[in-house]
Chain A
Amino acid sequence: MSSPAVDIRRVTHRYGSRTALDDVSFTVAEGEIFGLLGPNGGGKTTLFRLLSTLIPLQPDALRPSEIEVLGLSVARQTHEVRRQIGVVFQAPSLDKKLTVAENLRHQGRLYGLTGATLQTRADEMLERLSLSDRRDERCETLSGGLRRRVELAKGLLHNPRVLILDEPSTGLDPGARADLWDYLRTIRREQGVTIVLTTHLLEEADKADRLAILDQGKLVALDTPDRLRAEVGGDTLTIEADDVDGLAERIRNRFGGDVQTLDGRVRLERPDGHRLVAQLVEAFPGEVRSVMLGKPTLEDVFIARTGRRFVSAEEREAVPMRGAAVVGGRR
């Protein structure tokens, strides 16, 4: 097999005393759609910045971090790597005062495209992303979905072999999200572009060919979404009860195996979940308020690997649903 599209070896990165990435290694094969999944602060954005050459690797004489893109070293052949990659940032990188076409033209020149080549190439990208009729509109007037499309056109303008995207579906409605994935699959199929994207959305990660799950700077899982889920095995039972800890203890004594408590719920994985539901309700009458039986999701994979929920309780509460109603709640 030829060299991998992306080769990440022993990458460690610190911000002051905080370790953002802790000895992370994995490879991405050519032509893959590879997802970097992790909760906020998990380290995926740092990895994105390193891979996109936005920030340099930190030197470490004993355990040197190394990232190669198509066999080129990000540290020593930065310039060559930059030619090969297309980068789509989470924060918009468009100049809002310029039109769509102007943005592409400037971008092209940064990548050494000029004159007629640039013109043809820009027209082609606009056409492919159905932006031709917007070409003379200023970017500040475009909707979020359209802007993201222009970002994509910008990132792909120089025909990169590896496309790196940071949280590409942030701020997109479901329709635009589906379009984005259609497009990513198309360029992978037709041009063999390798795609690496970060996401904190479980349902998006599910669409990737392979996944790396990062948590607190560590690589906690690396495989296809299907295999990761299969590893968790069987069914997931989530039980709501009044006395969660007591019930968990009693289940453990009676049925054995691993029983977790998470966010005021009892959680267990069993190959024969449906049968256990009946047994549980019979065994502890009145104690079980509700039982949910489900096939394992990537969230279950995350819980199985880290013992924590993917989105922490605080984060879920932080989502402003009814203004300041959260303030002064539990805790």
Chain B
Amino acid sequence: MSIIAPAAKSSPVATAQDRPWAVVGTLAQRELVRFFRQRNRVVGAIGQPIILWFLFGAGLGPSFRLPGAGSDGISYREFFFPGTMALILLFTAIFTTISIIEDRREGFLQSVLVAPISRWSLVLGKLLGGSLIALIQAMVFFALGATLDLTYSPLMIAGVISFAFLSAFALTALGFLIAWRMDSTQGFHAVMSVFLLPMWLLSGSFFPAEGTLRYVMWINPMTYMTAGLRHLTYLGSDRAALLPPHLPSLTTCWIVTFLFAVLLFAADCRMAARRTTGDLL
């Protein structure tokens, strides 16, 4: 038996046009589908931060007091809330960009690399896919804020969603930069523990900015993501007065995060546009 069916009327392929946005869309869609088909990843990226949030909230809660706040101030669980959201964004961004390494090793990437597409659309597709996954997970956690004294208003929700998305995009772009040239996921995990986790710890998500660490936090782009989320969770609420001191302003957070995202995206495109033998592994 032969596998070949007779050639039916072979439909003429419409002279292919460049459709960069279709490329972006299809690659982003693939990320989403893939991610949610691998349930252990979903659990890992969101489960761990939630556990941390509960455990640290329970353990550190009694001894925690924000500098300058009275005894009726913010509980540790509440303080740690935006930071956990930032952690979920970071973790998911990491997990989705690790898939670049897998794409390369498993071979999917090679067929994308020889397709007639611009590399920026490849990058953008990957980043959008990753950011959307991160955003969805962060929003699941965001709903848990209902157990706190947060006031959910449409404006506050819209603010958190859009800022979280921008942050997710920036973090995914950072992950892409790290992952593109890497040939093993172990390498990525090493970078994660010595670079990405400290970056998160020193972003004012785990403890407020105090002493000399303030200067380290000041140059850490993630500080502005956590701070932005912190501002926005209190948007329009009178509890905003309870925010920790030395927090950069919301406008600064938007500007820094935006610039960070744009800069990293440009760097990603530049790097991905270079064709080298290193594309193979």
Residues of A within 8 A of B (CB): 15, 49, 52-56, 79-80, 82-83, 85, 87, 89, 91-98, 102, 105-107, 109-114, 117, 120-121, 124, 127-130, 149, 154, 158-159, 179, 182-183, 186, 190-191
Is B106 touching A83 in the complex (CB atoms < 8 A)? no
Give 15 new A-B contacts, CB below 8 A, not counting A91-B110, A127-B5: A15-B277, A54-B280, A55-B279, A80-B116, A83-B16, A96-B106, A102-B33, A109-B26, A110-B116, A110-B117, A112-B18, A121-B11, A124-B8, A124-B11, A179-B4
Report the bound CA distance from A47 to B2 in whole Å. 31
Q: Is B71 an interface residue (CB 8 A)?
A: no
Name the distance in Å between A208's Cβ and chain B's nearest Cβ: 19
**What's the A-B contact tally at a CB cutoff of 8 Å?**
129
Report the bound CA distance from A56 to B277 in whole Å. 8
**Contact A120-B106, Cβ < 8 Å, known A87-B114, A97-B34, A111-B16:** no
Report the bound CA distance from A221 to B5 in whole Å. 36
Contacts of A113 in B (CB 8 A): 13-14, 16
Is A121 touching B13 in the complex (CB atoms < 8 A)? yes
Name the distance in Å between B152's Cβ and chain A's nearest Cβ: 35
Report the bound CA distance from A130 to B34 in whole Å. 26
Closest 6 CB pairs of A and B: A112-B16, A82-B116, A93-B111, A109-B26, A110-B115, A91-B107
Residue of B nearest to A95 (CB): B108
Contacts of B280 in A (CB 8 A): 49, 54-55
Is A97 touching B112 in the complex (CB atoms < 8 A)? no
Q: Show 22 residue pairs from A and B whose CB-CB distance is below 8 angstroms, ordered by the A residue.
A: A54-B110, A54-B279, A56-B275, A56-B276, A80-B116, A83-B16, A87-B111, A94-B107, A95-B30, A95-B108, A102-B30, A106-B30, A109-B19, A111-B16, A112-B18, A112-B22, A128-B8, A130-B3, A158-B13, A158-B16, A182-B3, A183-B3
Interface size grouping (class) on chain B: 35 or more
Q: Which of A55, A106, A182 contacts B2 (CB 8 A)?
A: A182
Q: Is B7 an interface residue (CB 8 A)?
A: yes
Name the distance in Å between B244's Cβ and chain A's nearest Cβ: 43
Contacts of B276 in A (CB 8 A): 55-56
Is B275 touching A55 in the complex (CB atoms < 8 A)? yes
Which of B2, B10, B13, B29 counts the most chain A CB atoms within 10 A? B13
Contacts of B30 in A (CB 8 A): 95, 98, 102, 106
Is A109 touching B22 in the complex (CB atoms < 8 A)? yes
Is B11 touching A106 in the complex (CB atoms < 8 A)? no
Contacts of A95 in B (CB 8 A): 30, 34, 108
Is A186 touching B116 in the complex (CB atoms < 8 A)? no
**Contact A52-B108, Cβ < 8 Å, known A97-B37, A183-B3:** no
Contacts of B34 in A (CB 8 A): 95, 97-98
Is A111 touching B107 in the complex (CB atoms < 8 A)? no
Q: Is B113 an interface residue (CB 8 A)?
A: yes
Which of A52, A107, A128 counts the most chain B CB atoms within 10 A? A128
Name the distance in Å between B17's Cβ and chain A's nearest Cβ: 5
Report the bound CA distance from A85 to B25 in whole Å. 23
Residue of B nearest to A128 (CB): B5
Contacts of A190 in B (CB 8 A): 7, 10
Is A89 touching B33 in the complex (CB atoms < 8 A)? no
Q: Which of A98, A117, A129 contacts B3 (CB 8 A)?
A: A129
Report the bound CA distance from A120 to B12 in whole Å. 10
